[in-house]
Amino acid sequence: MNRLLSFLEYRPRLRNILSFCFSLIVMLLIGVGKVTAQDLNSSTLDLVANLWMLIAGSLVFFMNAGFAMLETGFCRTNNATNVLAKNLIVFCVSALAYWMFGFGLMFGDTSEVGNSFSGGTGFFLEILTPNNQYIQFQKLWPGRSIATLFFFQLTFAGTAATIVSGAVAERVKFWAFLLFSFFLVAFSYSLTGHWIWSSEGWLYNLFKFRDFAGSTVVHSVGGMAGLVGAWLLKPRDGRFGYNCKTDCYEEKERGNFAPHQLGFATLGCLIIWLGWFGFNGGSAVNLDDVPMAITTTMIAAAAGGVLALILNPLIGRKASLSTIINGILGGLVGITASSGYVNIRSAIIIGGISGIIVLLGEEFLIKTKVIDDPVGAIPVHLFCGFWGTIAVGFFSNKDAGEFANGLTQDSPISQVAFQFFGWIVVMAFTFIFSLILWLIIGNLLYYTQVIVLRQKNPQVNFSPVIRSQSFNVSDLFSLVWSRGREGIRVSLSEELTGSDGVFSD
């Protein structure tokens, strides 16, 4: 009773405090709405720009929690531990790789040893000592510090690597995934990012290729790297009738591969959706354009979820929660390349078509029975990334503030052609790089395991690597291919128990 009386006595004070806070928030919002760049001096404007970019980068970083929940929810329960472990450690690996090599290759100045193909300075970044290795990059982002820019771009690089984990989930070895993520971020992602996002990049200058926040640079690159990995790994045992023991396909599918924790997947979708406001909103050079980028992002995601739900029965499938989730994510990927260039009506069209592409893409992968993508990463990130990249040419509005940052003033068809060519070039490079890297890592892990087994049991007779009498180039390629595939995939027993060779459920 005493506690109740105390609370009743305190309640007027609490009400007054809450009223004051609410009034203060309203005043701040009204004030921010009225403030323009002309009302602020340069130092204050720079402070706000840096602060917003740090907040936006934090939102993008928080997307990792969403990806972890999403993948855990879409995968089988016994794989929860290794899926979570990969999503947690991949950002650690990506951060180090980007600090060591990626940021310099992507945005380092080209005046000394760099060129339009790659940056040449700024490796192993040190922010406490003065450096003039990113002058061209800072010209693109006036007022932002190098530390702010590095942090923001680092979160993007980590997202590209995280996309891969969804496509290869449940059957890739832990160390194979970590090694691949390191080299993908350190070199492949950063090189293609330089071509598009650096003012010295050849696609940026020569072909006027534009990707506002990363439909190609981040999502298509991650989707293509995941596609190559999933192709090499082949389906999970029983999926599409694939028999891992015999490496053959049977008539019927064995096992239950439906999502088992849709609550986690839904939470993950909402977290990713929230983080995307930082993804696209933080990519606006001018603070005045941030609200537009965030608004078009929200609307496109909504359109993608609704269209995917409505049209799902037209392809003979029942409406499902997973359909809504991937439709929303597809809309987010689709609008990423143009969120700073388009109006709301265009955003609805881009997002809605993205939702349809997700549906058709998932159905295509199921019909072909070649690519097993447990979370739908390839339709969402690769297919919708392509559409979002092309949509820049179709829907960009020359009245948009961010448009002044370099889109071609020619006809939309010219921009579409530039976008298409640039996307094809980046995907071809990513495909070749990823294929070679997966095979190198696979062979390295395979023969390392052979050496360890020989040391443990010298009496075991291993077949020779190459038989000299029948050796030719095709035999060598076949050997590298088979050993590479075997080296990156977990054993059948580990797959069935939900282990990836390191973690178990």
pLDDT of the residue at 262: 94
- Rg of the Cα atoms in the chain: 25
Q: What is the pLDDT at residue 399?
A: 75
- pTM of the entire structure? 0.89
Q: Where do the H-state alpha helices sit in 344-491?
A: 344-368, 377, 384-395, 412-456, 473-488
For residue 327, the SS3 value is helix
CA distance 457 to 464: 16
Q: How far apart are CA 199 and CA 377, in angstroms?
A: 30
Residues 62, 215: Cα–Cα separation, whole Å: 19
Tokens 């082949």 — which residue? 234
Contact 433, 188 (CB under 8 A): yes
303 contacts 331 by C-beta, under 8 angstroms: yes
Q: What is the pLDDT of residue 32?
A: 41
pLDDT at residue number 135: 85
For residue 25, the model assigns a pLDDT of 38
pLDDT value, residue 98: 97
How much is the pLDDT for 411? Answer: 76
Confidence at residue 281, expressed as pLDDT on a 0 to 100 scale: 96
Per-residue pLDDT of the chain (505 residues; tens, 9 = 90+): 444 344 344 455 545 544 544 454 344 333 444 444 445 577 888 899 999 999 999 999 999 999 999 999 999 988 899 999 999 999 999 999 999 999 999 998 876 666 889 998 889 998 877 667 888 888 889 999 999 999 999 999 999 999 999 999 999 999 999 999 999 999 999 999 999 999 899 999 988 899 999 999 999 999 999 999 999 999 999 999 999 999 999 989 998 898 889 999 999 999 999 999 999 999 999 999 999 999 999 999 999 999 999 998 887 778 889 999 999 999 999 999 999 999 999 999 999 999 999 999 999 999 999 999 999 999 999 999 999 999 999 999 877 777 655 555 567 888 999 999 999 999 999 999 999 999 999 999 999 988 888 887 776 555 555 555 556 788 888 999 999 999 999 999 898 888 877 766 5
CB atoms within 10 A of CB 253: 15
Burial of residue 134 (CB within 10 Å: 0-12, 13-18, 19+) is: buried
DSSP string across 359-394: HHHHHHHHHH-S---TT-HIIIIIIHHHHHHHHHHH
Report residue 172: phi and psi, to 5°.
Answer: -95, 145
Place of tokens 């890739």: 172
Contact 465, 454 (CB under 8 A): no
Tokens representing residue 419 in the block: 């976008």
In this structure, the number of other CB atoms found within 10 A of the CB of residue 127 comes to: 12
Q: What is the pLDDT of residue 170?
A: 93
Report the distance separating Cα 93 and Cα 90, nearest Å: 5
The two structure tokens encoding residue 502: 């390191």
Ramachandran category for residue 75: left, alpha or beta (phi over 0 → left; psi -120 to 50 → alpha): beta
Q: Report CA torsion sign: 83, 181, 164, 281.
A: positive
| Under 8 Å between Cβ of 107 and 134 | yes
Q: For the chain, what's the residue count? A: 505
- Residue 243 has φ and ψ, to the nearest 5°, of -105, 110
Sign of CA dihedral 77, 79, 84, 85: positive
Could you tell me which residues come within 8 angstroms of residue 325 by beta carbon, excluding any fewer than 6 positions away? 70, 265, 266, 269, 305
> What type of residue is 456?
K
